Amino acid sequence: MFTTGSKLLVGATLLAAAAAVLYGVLVEGALGTVGLSSAAVALGLVAGVNVAARDSNVSAMDTAAIADAPAARPAPGASLWPLAVAVGGVLVVVGMVTYPVALIFGLVVLLVGTVEWMVQAWSERASADAGYNSELRGRLAHPLEFPVLAAVGIGLIVYSFSRIMLFLSKTGGVAAFGVIAVLVLAVGFIVAFRPTLRGGAIGVVAAIAAVGLVAGGIAAAIGGERELHPHETTGDLAGEGQCDTTDETEADENASQSIAAKSNLAGTVTLGEDGSLVARTAGVEGEQEVLVIGRSNPSNIRFDNESGEERRLVLDLGTRPEVDEAGEVVEGSEVPDQRCTALVEEGGSQLLTVTIGEPSSSSDTPYRFLVPGVDGAEVEVVVP
Amino acid sequence: MRSLGTVGRVPRRALRRRLIAAGASAVALVAAGCAEDAPQDTWQPKGDNAQRIHGLQWPVFAIAGVVLVIVMAAIIWAVFRYRDRGQPIPKQTHGRPALEIGLTILPALILIGVAIPTVGTLLALSETDDTECVVNVTGQQWWWEMDYPVQDGCGGVERPIITSGQMVIPVGTNVLVRGTSRDVIHSWWIPPLNGKRDMVPGRVHTVRLQADEPGIFAGQCTEFCGLSHANMRMEVVALTADDFETWKANQLADYQAPAAETAQAQGETVFVQQCARCHQIDGLLNADGTPNISEPQLHVYSGSAPNLTNLMTRNTFAGATYDLVTENCRDEVWEASPEEFGARYLEGVTAACLNEVELREWIRNAPEKKPMYADPEELEETDAKTRGMPYLALSEEQIDQLIAYLLERK
């Protein structure tokens, strides 16, 4: 009546029940008794099921059961998905107490592993034909697997490329990728003109190239980006009344410092070594003492400091009515209307983007560029 | 009742009619390319830069045409020769390296042959070192502003000149156009003088213009920029050196206030009250004697409105959408000989030539005359500012006075 497995479970049930009684008598507190009693009940339940299922053993005399019983079916194939699920679970736990990225990655691995495991298990039970089962699995999983794997693969390659390019110097990058392009072309020619090459050999070369690229990307990511040219920012300090200071002030992070802006200048204003301030603009030969800037037009002015000291460029637009914190105009009170760069080091440059809404003829005093601390350094600004 | 097998079939006669109609349309389209009175024709260069483009597009067009004919002939021959006549499917072959390499190299050679003169032309057109006159061009919805900065070029400009719709340049002079935009991306294109150049807000783009002879050369914004993109036109007027000096001097002449108690003086008052919020007329004074300074940056989305100081020296208004002169007077200027052109143009708009009908309609209700909003009845402001000229609800008497005043602005 009792099979081998049943004996173990029945014994464990009795042991748990006895332990519960002893614990309740000898030790104070009901928690242990409740726990051991629960274990006895659970073990008894499992023992009952096992007795009913007869340890899933099939009688050697029952030929029909040998063919039909679940235990008679072929063992499931080897699978790495349980391992992936375990890794995902660990990452989730670790991620919850360390880095969110580990948690997210763990959740993804857990989800993917679970789904793949379920699909594989489902397909392996579809029939006794392993080939058919495999095809069935592919029919369900491939439409999802291939695009996702392709996207991940492309992302990995692009990311690796970007890390390598940011790691290498500009010249080194051109040289390295020039060589790589030649190699790709050469391999392409070899493959095209030697059709007898085995597919396996081509696959090995491609795999080596891919691994090399990803390894290079990882190494470059660890090595960090090359030193990029720092883009100084423009200060719009008029509101703070800080244009007239020679102290360093906080720069305006919103100012455009893009290459596009720097390459499309309305004009250049240069402070020379002798303290002279001159303007230049595309299409007009030589230095100018008057710079024309379009009205209501965002204009990029580059300030070149060729003097021996840190200086800032100030666009002086006269005065404007003072506005209080509530945005109301303060009657009878005027404040300087100025735009300026932050302090620019010796030999440095900085961009000042200005939009002037009112023509220069509307001001009692001419609009002008000037440099605080340098007497006579002025360029008149005319806004038609 | 027709059977299912005949549904959708076109009778032979109807098919013939359709073919004739399609053929006639194609012929009409091709024939339209032969029109001589087409001011924006890319095949009629009027300056060095456009001539360079013209010199390139002819051989490229010829090469492309030959390739088109060969390819189409091969396709038609193959389709006809191997059409399905019930024959068995012929033996299929794969891989003809010699043919494949040949059909790769041949197009590559053709492209290289086209690319070399193309790149050379592009480099030549982008040259600006040889320019002798600078004009700033600024696009906004939906008109072009031109200003001449202080410079030694253009025969010397001591004070900025600002105008709109029409750019005036000296004949035979390489003019550097420095363009940008105040709102969205526009594109500057005067086909008889050079190629296109996009005008992007915050950037400065350059293009060189040069005209061989005096005349007017029409252009068009070629980057879709909003509802009235099609109405955003411009013209370049080329004058002889002497005529150009005359034009400059006139643009910089002092403001002449109208005589008191005249319709013009009343028009000046209307202008100050209704128009000067956005439009600048240099030298105009307020009632208290202070200079009148317009504030388009407070009222118009682009932050600017045309400067009307010398409005009647131009031939167009409303972004060159409409002529300021009547059709007959326009034709007299456009069709004047190179020798007579300068004098006719410098006459400006006379009372006899004024296109009063359309100017009056424009002042009466500009949004109806030039689409600026999807629904002109519900003018939707952008950031509390209008796009283009708004409806001002002027009386007919005010319009009369304004026109009388504006007619003297030259």
**Number of compact structural domains in chain A:** 3
A67 located within any domain? no
User: What Å distances lie between residue B338 and A41, A72, B166, B240, CA to CA?
Assistant: 113, 105, 18, 9
Cα A354 to chain centroid distance, Å, stands at 34
Here the contacts of B277-282 (C-beta below 8 Å, separation 24 or greater) are B278/B305, B278/B389, B279/B305, B279/B306, B279/B307, B279/B308, B280/A359, B280/B162, B280/B305, B280/B307, B280/B308, B280/B309, B281/B255, B281/B307, B281/B308, B281/B309, B281/B409, B282/A361, B282/B255, B282/B307, B282/B309
A95 in the same domain as A40: no
The CA distance from A58 to the nearest CA of chain B, in Å, is: 60
Residue B310: the pLDDT is 95
Query: Which one, of B349, B342, B345, B347, lies nearest residue B324 by Cα?
Result: B349
A300–B128: do the CB atoms touch at under 8 Å? no
Q: Which chain B residue lies closest to A263 (C-alpha atoms)?
A: B203
Per the structure block, which two tokens stand in for B135?
Answer: 């004009």
Residue B204 is nearest to which of A265, A288, A358, comparing CB atoms?
A265
B303–A296: do the CB atoms touch at under 8 Å? yes
Per the structure block, which two tokens stand in for B101?
Answer: 């390499």
Cα B333 to chain centroid distance, Å, stands at 18
The residue written with tokens 């509307």 in the block is A362
Query: Which one, of B238, B142, B229, B151, lies nearest residue B182 by Cα?
Result: B142
Under a CB-based contact definition with an 8 Å cutoff, are residues B223 and B200 in contact?
A: no
B180–A357: do the CB atoms touch at under 8 Å? no
Q: In one letter, which amino acid is A340?
A: C
A203 in the same domain as A112: yes
> A–B: how many Cβ contacts below 8 A?
86
A64 located within any domain? no
Q: In one letter, which amino acid is B283?
A: G
A301 in the same domain as A212: no
A376 in the same domain as A290: yes
Query: Which one, of B100, B187, B181, lies nearest residue A193 by Cα?
Result: B100
A261 located within any domain? yes
A239 located within any domain? no
A272 in the same domain as A179: no
- Please name each of the domains of chain B with its CATH number: 4-30+38-85+93-125 (1.10.287.90), 131-410 (2.60.40.420)
pTM of the predicted model, to two decimals? 0.67
Residue B138 is nearest to which of A265, A290, A294, comparing CB atoms?
A294
Beta strand A290-292 pairing with A378-382? parallel
> Residues of A with CB below 8 A from B206's CB?
282-283
A384–B152: do the CB atoms touch at under 8 Å? no
Q: Which chain B residue lies closest to A364 (C-alpha atoms)?
A: B291
Under a CB-based contact definition with an 8 Å cutoff, are residues A293 and A266 in contact?
A: yes
A109 in the same domain as A11: no
A376 in the same domain as A275: yes
Under a CB-based contact definition with an 8 Å cutoff, are residues B131 and B207 in contact?
A: no
Domain span including residue A119: 82-223
A292–B176: do the CB atoms touch at under 8 Å? no
Query: Which one, of A178, A152, A173, lies nearest residue A162 by Cα?
Result: A173
Cα A122 to chain centroid distance, Å, stands at 36
A208 in the same domain as A264: no
Residue A384 is nearest to which of B134, B151, B162, comparing CB atoms?
B162
A215 in the same domain as A271: no
Q: Which chain A residue lies closest to B301 (C-alpha atoms)?
A: A296
| CA atoms of B102 and B4, how far apart (whole Å) | 49
The CA distance from A326 to the nearest CA of chain B, in Å, is: 20
| CA atoms of B49 and B177, how far apart (whole Å) | 13
pLDDT by residue, tens only, chain A of 384 residues: 677 778 888 888 998 898 888 888 887 777 788 888 898 999 898 888 888 777 766 665 566 666 666 656 666 778 889 999 999 999 999 988 888 889 999 999 999 999 999 998 888 888 878 888 888 889 888 998 999 999 999 999 999 999 998 899 888 888 988 998 999 999 888 888 887 878 788 888 888 988 999 999 999 998 888 876 544 444 444 445 557 655 554 444 444 455 666 667 888 999 999 999 999 987 777 888 889 888 888 888 888 999 989 888 999 988 888 888 787 888 888 888 888 888 888 888 888 888 888 888 888 889 999 998 898 899 999 998
A68 located within any domain? no
> Residues of A with CB below 8 A from B205's CB?
264
> Residues of B with CB below 8 A from A284's CB?
134, 149, 151-153
pLDDT by residue, tens only, chain B of 410 residues: 444 444 456 678 888 888 999 999 999 888 877 777 788 888 889 999 999 999 999 999 999 999 999 999 999 999 999 888 888 888 888 888 898 899 999 999 999 999 999 999 999 998 888 889 999 999 999 999 999 998 888 999 998 999 999 999 999 999 999 999 998 999 999 999 999 999 998 888 899 999 999 999 999 999 999 999 999 999 999 999 999 999 999 999 999 999 999 999 999 999 999 999 999 999 999 888 888 999 998 888 888 999 999 999 999 999 999 999 999 999 999 999 999 999 999 999 999 999 999 999 999 999 889 988 766 566 555 666 888 888 889 999 999 999 999 999 98
A117 in the same domain as A34: no
A205 located within any domain? yes
What's the complex ipTM?
0.73
Strand partners, B205: B179
Q: Which of B141, B148, B154, B204 to mutate to test the interface with A (most CBs of A within 10 A)?
A: B204
Give the HSE-up count for residue A241: Cα atoms under 13 Å, Cβ half-sphere: 6
Q: Which chain A residue lies closest to B181 (C-alpha atoms)?
A: A297
Query: Which one, of B185, B190, B134, lies nearest residue B166 by Cα?
Result: B190
Query: Which one, of B130, B129, B120, lies nearest residue B172 by Cα?
Result: B130
> Residues of B with CB below 8 A from A321's CB?
none
The residue written with tokens 């670790």 in the block is A94
> Residue A284 belongs to a domain with what CATH number?
2.60.40.420
> Residues of B with CB below 8 A from A188's CB?
none
Q: In one letter, which amino acid is B321?
A: T
B160–A292: do the CB atoms touch at under 8 Å? yes
Q: Which helix (H) or strand (E) holds B207?
A: strand B205-209
Give the HSE-up count for residue B105: Cα atoms under 13 Å, Cβ half-sphere: 6
A283–B150: do the CB atoms touch at under 8 Å? no
A361–B291: do the CB atoms touch at under 8 Å? yes
Residue B178 is nearest to which of A282, A353, A362, comparing CB atoms?
A282
Under a CB-based contact definition with an 8 Å cutoff, are residues B205 and B179 in contact?
A: yes
A199 in the same domain as A128: yes
The answer, for A361 touching chain B at a CB cutoff of 8 Å, is yes
A210 in the same domain as A157: yes
| CA atoms of A380 and B287, how far apart (whole Å) | 30
Under a CB-based contact definition with an 8 Å cutoff, are residues B207 and B177 in contact?
A: yes
A349 located within any domain? yes
Residue A297 is nearest to which of B134, B138, B280, comparing CB atoms?
B138
B150–A300: do the CB atoms touch at under 8 Å? no
A232 located within any domain? no
| CA atoms of B399 and B364, how far apart (whole Å) | 7
Q: Which of B127, B133, B203 to mutate to test the interface with A (most CBs of A within 10 A)?
A: B203
- Distance in Å from the first CA to the final CA of chain B: 76
| CA atoms of B180 and B197, how far apart (whole Å) | 10
B355: left (phi over 0), alpha (psi -120 to 50) or beta: beta
> Residues of A with CB below 8 A from B158's CB?
none
Question: B-side interface with A, Cβ within 8 Å?
Answer: 128, 131, 134, 136, 138, 145, 147, 149-153, 159-162, 176, 178, 180, 182, 201-206, 280, 282, 291, 293, 295-298, 302-304, 307
B178–A283: do the CB atoms touch at under 8 Å? yes
Residue B289: the pLDDT is 87
> Residues of B with CB below 8 A from A234's CB?
none
User: What Å distances lie between residue A104 and A91, A95, A112, A269, CA to CA?
Assistant: 9, 8, 12, 52
